[in-house]
Chains A and B, each alone.
Chain A
Amino acid sequence: MLWWDGIVATFIKCFLKDDRYLLLLDGIGVTIKISLLAVLIGIAIGLVIAFCALSKKKVLNLIGKVYTDVIRGTPSVTQLMIIYFVVFATVDLEKWVIAAIAFGINSGAYVSEIIRAGILSIDKGQTEAGRSLGLNAMQTMVSIIIPQAVKNIFPALCNEFIVLVKETAIVGYIGLVDIQKAGDLIKSATFEAFMPLIATAIIYFVLIKTLTLALARVEKALRKSDNR
């Protein structure tokens, strides 16, 4: 069983020797930290930009449009590097937080478009019904429009979150060791490409599959009112 021994030896070299698996474990932590914070920032920015884009005020409208345009028109690696090496060059913040801000800013542009579409998808009669009862515009938005919009846009938002998690694989560019970078470091140290890279892929897949399953449960709960 020579080939089997070979595989075991490579596995030990890649993951157990010098506790290399710890690199990957820490990498998972970094990826998750960045993703979670970035999602929150992305939703916050997305909401603000969506309302700008939907606003009747010309200035706000323009801000919304320009933001989305600029972010969509440049690669996220470039944005990440500009934010880390230029914008936050002299600011004393933890690297992962800066990375999360960068990804949040990026995600915000996409989230805003999703939210905007979601709000526009709700029938005008819903707003009229709310207003006719005496609710003001804000109350109508919060109690009537947004809950319905969230349900409609949830699948698209999930998609955006999944993309975001995978996008974080570029944080190696600013010297963070996430899952991708950990796999890469192991590759360089061991001169083995197959196992570290496949392990990287498997870890991402499991992470995202777990996320997908969790989000599917949330969606099912959201759809409760559709049952006939």
Chain B
Amino acid sequence: MITVKNLHKSFGDVHVLTGIDEHISPGEVVVIIGPSGSGKSTFLRCLNLLEQPTDGEIYVDNELITSPKVDVNKVRQKMGMVFQQFNLFPHLTIMENITLAPVKLKKMTKEEAIKKGEELLERVGLAEKANAYPAQLSGGQKQRVAIARALAMQPEIMLFDEPTSALDPEMVGEVLDVMKELAKSGMTMVVVTHEMGFAREVGTRLLFMDQGIIMEQGKPEDVFSNPQNERTQAFLSKVL
């Protein structure tokens, strides 16, 4: 579904990604962990071209999306993204947040989008908030809306960039529950997170990133219980 070949990304003189090769298959829940500054978020943001890779190739559904000829907007419609800071549109109601893109991009009529929106809000447990504004929601509620908003485009892949890192601890669970349910439904997911419990429980594969490359990967339980790489061991000993 996604194939990454020799991905490099630099910001000026700083080489954040130094050669990543990776393949993500449909239905996988790939969890990316690693110390801050290791390039996890940059890697994720390269996947939907929010960051333009400096070098390397990314294929989504066998389409080379790093080619200049590709319609970036079309590619992004296949990939939902959830941000650490939610990034809900504060001037729109919750329902408008969800229906904006599908209607604007002519994926659905307004009526269809609202129906879909109600369905999604039901799914994330916020049906009664349709007409509220983001400022009236708690952090956890905002993030659940953000997930619903991304799902409204009916993406094939969902990218999560530290979705619970900006939340108060008591709100982390409600967001992770939504993500677990999503994983169970068969959605292909790539999740950058510090939630090791989630990684172990929901992840089908764990990537440990450091210094701009994938240092180690495998089944979450294997990596957690028996890390091979020295850096993985050092990192896990600090966070577990």
Does B89 contact A228, Cβ atoms closer than 8 Å?
no
Given contacts A143-B104, A227-B135, contact A133 B91 (CB under 8 A): no
Q: Is B100 an interface residue (CB 8 A)?
A: yes
Digitize A141-169: 1 where CB-to-B-CB distance is under 8 Å, 0 elsewhere.
00110011001000000000000000000
10 contacts between A and B (CB under 8 A): A125-B85, A128-B50, A132-B48, A133-B100, A133-B105, A133-B150, A134-B101, A148-B89, A148-B90, A225-B133
Within 8 A of B (CB), among A119-147: 123, 125-126, 128-136, 139, 143-144, 147
Residue contact B76 to A131, C-beta cutoff 8 Å: yes
| Residues B50 and A131 in contact, CB atoms below 8 Å apart | yes
Range, interface on chain B: 20 to 34
Query: Using Cβ atoms and an 8 Å threshold, which residues of chain B touch A225?
Result: 90-93, 133-135
**With contacts A128-B81, A131-B76, A144-B89 known, what are 11 further pairs, Cβ within 8 A?**
A123-B85, A126-B87, A126-B89, A130-B101, A132-B76, A133-B77, A133-B149, A134-B73, A134-B77, A135-B105, A143-B100
B91 touches A148 (CB 8 A): yes
Query: Residues of B at under 8 Å CB distance from A?
Result: 48, 50, 73-74, 76-77, 79-81, 83, 85, 87-93, 100-101, 104-105, 133-136, 146, 149-150, 153
Interface contact A151-B91, CB-CB below 8 Å: yes
Chain A residues, Cβ within 8 Å of B79? 132
9 closest residue pairs by CB, A with B: A134-B77, A129-B87, A133-B101, A132-B81, A125-B87, A225-B133, A134-B76, A134-B73, A147-B91
Most buried by B among A126, A133, A226: A133
Chain B residue contacts of A147, Cβ below 8 A: 91
User: Once the chains are docked, how many angstroms separate the CA of A139 from the CA of B48?
Assistant: 18
Interface residue from A131, A134, A228 paired with B105 (Cβ < 8 Å): A134
The count of chain A contact residues (Cβ–Cβ below 8 Å) is: 23
State the CA gap A135–B97 with chains docked (Å): 13
Residues of A close to B81: CB separation below 8 A: 128-129, 132
A227 touches B136 (CB 8 A): yes
Shortest beta-carbon distance, B11 to chain A, in Å? 14
Closest CB of chain B to A46's CB: distance in Å? 21
